[in-house]
Structure 1
């Protein structure tokens, strides 16, 4: 059994004191120091919950939840079936109105577990990462992670408590990655794109000029977040990805104007412009003349 005080009921929001709570299992007596978990059928009820020092993850196990939660004076609906997740950050009081009966799991994670994960993910000195409030989102990955922690409720042993500690780090890492403002992509990676990556970016764009191209589409090719790729690309090329795409489209239009007799309106569509007017504006800004004038000049007329 793990040494040290357990994570007690007094450290939670006191859900167990709410009306219509039928508790089927808790982590009390299992030696959990870094988390508290309860499994219950709850509601309907209406309560105010004062701020606590740790993070709460509420998972709907079965039935459909219906209610609302008030945080920082703003009401948020809570509706959804199994797998619906609500996350309450540390130091955040709230009011909850639960309108029906629903089966849930409550998982509290010590803030110091979050801090340990942050320390392992980020360079030294980055300690201000906060988990965000999130009402009623469907997240099957987080649901399965919480279900894995629930396995530890069935055995009071040192091995089981150690298993729970390991799983909690996984849950905490997932929360930091997906429910905080942290940008993991900036940690431990290159400060700019290589020349080959810039060339590859152009290849991808030119292969899809007639289609809608988004920053997310290109970033995915390099397994980077959109924001991080956008910063790296501008640092490497001196222009934003959007500006670069427009230049690629104008370059293709120049070639087609000089080498084909295709109508300008068709060239605009072929190069991914919304219409001929869009092409003309971009062409004039980059080339300094109109598509028609450019075609005449290239043909010597």
Structure 2
């Protein structure tokens, strides 16, 4: 772990205020609280002061040579689009390359690593942090991060439950690849007790019209957020997001067959933010649009 004191670090918000242009995409307005995602275009490289959170960078735009200096040395790499770099909390770097750059960043607190290692992998994480790779390629981590960006950039602004699911999987992947404690153990198999599973299912049924998140459901179950997704899937056979979506579509089918509500009202009833999002998810689950389903009912 860096020797710098957390009081000497700045927040991701302070960092954003230092950059030459505001982000073109951000999770700030979504109500998602597990971390912060921001996407920048055409930003001039500059120094990064120590941050109070870990930072995962997804390099976008054109391939280019990047030089990063600080923390006792200089690293350089030919970085392709989709490659990843990590700036551990408390680390300070100067970045240099030719011309402005495009990139996305995910910020998350050091406490998240403690949750992953202590609760999911059953490892003692105290005194350890993340390594600081520059321009590494990992298709799984890249896919998880780009899917988070796509979800945030969608017309409905992002589902908290879907973002939580992607985020938890991404952080677990980072820990297994880049935690300097060598946390390579497999996650423990967990399953919710029947009464806990029932509490969660009852809560989902009562809140189909709201944007629930993993943290919220984990509190209902009485387990940690990192435990919850895997334990729920082991107990039910579905991830929380898949289960919630299937229940929303099931309720939508009944409402469409009943014929009393228009398509937009059915979408709102079932927790879809727009009629377009509802139509896409309904067709994905059933093979037909809501309008076609209603006509055939």
- CA deviation after TM superposition for structure 1 residue 64, in Å: 1.6
Secondary structure (helix, strand or coil) at the match of 1:134 reads: coil
Q: Distance in 2 between matches of 1:111 and 1:180?
A: 11
Q: Which stretch has the larger CA shift, 178-187 or 54-63? A: 178-187
Paired residue for 1:58?
57
Residue pair 2:59, 2:84 contacting (<8 A) in 1 also: yes
The answer to whether the 8 A contact 2:11-2:52 is kept is: no
List per-residue Cα deviations over 1:178-213 (Å, max 9, x = no partner). 012344456799xxxxxxxxxxxxxxxxxxxxxxxx
Give 5+ residue unaligned stretches, structure 2. 1-9, 189-297
Q: TM-score with structure 1 length normalisation?
A: 0.52
**2:141 and 2:91 mapped to 1: Cα distance?**
21
**1:97 matches 2:92:** no
Q: Could you say what secondary structure the match of 1:56 adopts?
A: strand
1:162 correspondence with 2:161: yes
Q: Tell me how far 1:142 sits from its aligned partner.
A: 1.3
Contact 1:119–1:127 (8 Å) recurs in 2: no
Determine helix, strand or coil for the equivalent of 2:30: coil
Q: How far apart are the structure 2 equivalents of 1:139 and 1:187?
A: 18
Alignment of 1:91-170 (within 5 A): 91-123=90-122, 125-154=124-153, 160-170=159-169
User: Which of these two proteins has the greater Rg computed from alpha carbons?
Assistant: 1
Work out the CA distance in 1 between the residues paired with 2:160 and 2:13. Answer: 19
Aligned counterparts, 1:248-267, within 5 A: none
Say whether the 8 Å CA contact 2:88–2:131 is kept in structure 1.
yes
Relative distance call for 1:135 and 1:96 in structure 2 (3 A) is same
Partner of 2:81: 82
Mapping of 1:182-201 within 5 angstroms?
182-184=181-183
Q: Which residue of 1 aligns with 2:41?
A: 41
Matches within 5 A, 1:68-79: 68-79=67-78
Once the two structures are TM-superposed, the CA of residue 120 in structure 1 deviates from its matched residue by 2.1
| Cα 1:184/1:18, change in 2 over 3 Å | closer
Aligned in 2, Cα 1:95/1:171: closer, same or farther, shift over 3 Å?
same
Task: Pick which of 178-187 and 103-112 moved more.
Answer: 178-187
With over 3 angstroms needed to count, the CA separation of the structure-2 counterparts of 1:67 and 1:121, relative to structure 1, is same
2:25–2:153 contact (8 Å) kept in structure 1: no
- Deviation per CA, 1:213-253: give whole Å up to 9, x if none: xxxxxxxxxxxxxxxxxxxxxxxxxxxxxxxxxxxxxxxxx
1:246 corresponding residue in structure 2: none
Superposed CA deviations along residues 96-147 of structure 1, whole A, max 9, x for unmatched, are 2232233211111222222211112333644334211111112222111101
Q: 1:116 to 1:102 in 2, by over 3 A?
A: same
Q: Do the aligned partners of residues 12 and 137 (structure 1) sit closer, same or farther apart at CA in structure 2, a change above 3 Å counting?
A: farther
1-side partners of 2:44 and 2:157: how far apart?
Answer: 37
Q: Cα distance, 1:63 vs. partner?
A: 1.1
Q: Give the RMSD, CA atoms, in angstroms.
A: 2.9
